[in-house]
């Protein structure tokens, strides 16, 4: 079974050794390993992908062993295998103001176009609480005046046993720690502009002042670098005539293009058409 292990904690010596030794001694085949030191935060982060053999026991056995190592080494270790459960993959929809992308995902789940279940909606504002209630999904506001409590976000991801975190126009930059705790293609972001040309928070305006006639949105996997370009899952565009007002361009993008792009990008992940390997998108050979 394909298993992803992440370990995050205060930087120190000898943190990776017990993790690597345990999985190799159990006969696991390592597909990918990455280790990083974030000097500014004195943070150690590690990503390990392995093929866990049936002869080594259940994934729960591996998870318990990793939990013991984490307690000894002061690390937060997560052990995730999408195939461990037999039910549909569980997603968390993270929102701020715009409801349209999240609504498109919830409709596709309801109508069977997206083979997933929405376990929870999390917002740093209450703008999408009514949407969650309409679809019978638990909603948690982790924001105080819009300022998110990322410890609470992490706790909710774990509590609801989420497989994928979907940033459906969640207008905050996740801290590096969360990006590493759920690394390996588990965090999916909708960016309301075409990457890599128009990153940042004002892509419609940035494209408009450059007299662009084609606008779009991008769905990509999250890694700690903001709006990096090698993790693009799907992009969708629309064209406008010269002289189209920015307000009309933004309206089309927000109400039509962005929701469609997110739904299709998430479908590619859920249907296992693509995966993230060494920070790059590849065709999923295990589909």
Unique residue bearing structure tokens 């899952």: 233
Residue 95 in 3-state DSSP?
Answer: strand
- Last residue of some domain: 29, 53, 84? 84
pLDDT average, residue stretch 245-270: 98
Q: Is residue 45 pLDDT above 60, yes or no?
A: yes
**133 CB contacts (<8 Å, ≥6 apart)?**
139
Q: Which of 98-107, 195-204, 221-230, 261-270 is predicted least confidently?
A: 221-230
Cis check: omega of the bond before 194, within 30 degrees of 0: no
The pair of three-digit structure tokens given for residue 61, joined into one six-digit string: 């056995």
Percentage of the chain exceeding pLDDT 90: 87
Distances from the Cα of 146 to the Cα of 95, 171, 276, angstroms: 11, 10, 31
CATH number at residue 67: 3.30.70.260
Q: Does 271 participate in catalysis according to the annotation?
A: no
Q: Is residue 274 pLDDT above 90, yes or no?
A: yes
| Predicted local distance difference test score (pLDDT) of residue 262 | 98
The length of the chain in residues reads 287
| Predicted local distance difference test score (pLDDT) of residue 227 | 47
CATH number at residue 105: 3.40.50.170
Strands (E), 116-158: 117-123, 139-141, 143-144, 147-148
Whether 98 and 80 map to the same domain: the answer is no
Q: Is residue 110 pLDDT above 80, yes or no?
A: yes
Structural domain range at position 262: 90-283
Choosing from 227, 230, 256, 271, the catalytic residue is: 227
Check: CB of residue 160 under 8 Å from CB of residue 92.
yes
| CA-based end-to-end distance of the chain | 13
| Predicted local distance difference test score (pLDDT) of residue 42 | 79
The pair of three-digit structure tokens given for residue 52, joined into one six-digit string: 């866990």
pLDDT average, residue stretch 89-112: 98
In this prediction the pTM is: 0.94
Q: Is residue 54 pLDDT above 70, yes or no?
A: yes
Whether 53 and 135 map to the same domain: the answer is no
Q: What is the dihedral of CA 102, 107, 112, 114, to 10 degrees?
A: -20
pLDDT average, residue stretch 44-71: 96
Cis check: omega of the bond before 196, within 30 degrees of 0: yes
- Last residue of some domain: 19, 51, 84? 84
Domain count, the chain: 2
The pair of three-digit structure tokens given for residue 170, joined into one six-digit string: 């969640």
pLDDT average, residue stretch 151-167: 98
| Model confidence band, residue 36 (pLDDT cutoffs 50, 70, 90) | confident
| Model confidence band, residue 7 (pLDDT cutoffs 50, 70, 90) | very high
| Model confidence band, residue 211 (pLDDT cutoffs 50, 70, 90) | very high
Average pLDDT, the chain: 94
| Model confidence band, residue 264 (pLDDT cutoffs 50, 70, 90) | very high
Whether 155 and 234 map to the same domain: the answer is yes
């Amino acid at each position: 079974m394909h298993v992803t292990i992440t370990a995050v904690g205060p930087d120190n010596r000898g943190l990776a050794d017990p993790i690597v030794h345990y999985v190799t001694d159990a006969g696991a085949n390592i597909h990918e390993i990455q280790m990083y030191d974030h000097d500014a935060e004195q943070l150690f982060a590690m990503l390990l992908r392995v093929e866990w053999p049936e002869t080594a026991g259940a994934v729960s056995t591996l998870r318990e062993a990793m939990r013991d190592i984490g307690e000894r080494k002061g690390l937060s270790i997560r052990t995730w295998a999408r195939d461990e459960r037999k039910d549909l993959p569980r997603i968390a929809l993270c929102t701020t103001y715009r409801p349209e992308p999240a609504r498109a995902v919830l409709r596709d789940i309801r109508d069977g176009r997206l083979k997933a279940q929405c376990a929870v909606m999390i917002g740093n504002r209450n703008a999408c609480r009514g949407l969650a209630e309409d679809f019978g999904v638990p909603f948690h506001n982790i924001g105080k005046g819009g300022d998110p409590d990322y410890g609470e976000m992490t706790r909710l991801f774990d509590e609801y046993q989420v497989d994928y975190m979907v940033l459906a126009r969640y207008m905050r930059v996740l801290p590096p720690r969360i990006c590493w705790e759920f690394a390996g293609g588990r965090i999916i972001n909708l960016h309301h502009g075409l990457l890599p040309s128009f990153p940042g928070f004002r892509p419609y305006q940035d494209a408009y002042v450059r007299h662009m006639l084609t606008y779009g949105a991008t769905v990509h996997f999250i890694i700690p670098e903001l709006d990096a370009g090698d993790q693009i899952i799907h992009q969708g565009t629309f064209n406008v005539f010269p002289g189209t007002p920015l307000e009309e361009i933004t309206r089309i993008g927000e109400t039509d293009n962005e929701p469609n792009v997110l739904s299709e990008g998430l479908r590619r992940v859920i249907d296992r058409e693509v995966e993230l390997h060494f920070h790059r998108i590849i065709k999923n050979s295990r589909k």
